[in-house]
């Protein structure tokens, strides 16, 4: 296992690939705040550099958390290790203040 996932906040349910990750590869995350080890996860898809990987199961309708804040809502169930991108989340960036 190698460290290939940056986790910005301990509350995050996604991490960011700091190298390309291949499907089936088991990778370790590292918390950026204190450089402590984070969870390990087996990639269910190829995850390109800079893209998100689910650190936990995320149910449809649940918020996707990065930097300790919600950045989107899951549009379908997302499994731990799955690629998290526009195909399975909707950004809430443009909807702040709306209910």
Q: Tell me what percent of the residues of the chain surpass a pLDDT of 90.
A: 87
Taking the C-alpha atoms of residue 65 and residue 71, their distance in angstroms, rounded to an integer, is 6
pLDDT digits (tens, 9 = 90+) for 4-31: 999 999 999 999 999 999 999 999 999 9
**What's the whole-number average pLDDT of the chain?**
93
- CATH number (domain holding residue 90): 2.30.130.110
pLDDT digits (tens, 9 = 90+) for 50-63: 999 999 999 999 99
Nearest to 55 by CA among 8, 87, 91: 8
Owner of token pair 């290939």 = 4
**Domains held by the chain: number:** 1
Taking the C-alpha atoms of residue 47 and residue 84, their distance in angstroms, rounded to an integer, is 9
pLDDT at position 2 is: 79
- Structural domain boundaries enclosing 67: 2-95
Q: What burial class does residue 60 get, using C-beta atoms within 10 Å of its C-beta: 0-12 exposed, 13-18 middle, 19+ buried?
A: exposed
**Whole-model pTM above 0.75?**
yes
């Amino acid at each position: 296992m190698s460290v290939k996932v940056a986790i910005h906040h301990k509350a995050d349910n996604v991490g960011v690939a700091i190298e390309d990750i291949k499907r089936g590869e088991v990778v370790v995350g590292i918390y950026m705040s204190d450089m402590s080890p984070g969870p390990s996860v087996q990639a269910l898809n190829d995850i390109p550099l800079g893209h998100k990987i689910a650190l936990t199961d995320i149910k449809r309708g649940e918020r996707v958390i990065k930097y300790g804040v919600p950045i989107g809502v899951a549009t379908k169930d997302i499994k731990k290790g799955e690629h998290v991108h526009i195909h399975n989340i909707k950004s809430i960036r443009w909807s702040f203040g709306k209910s």
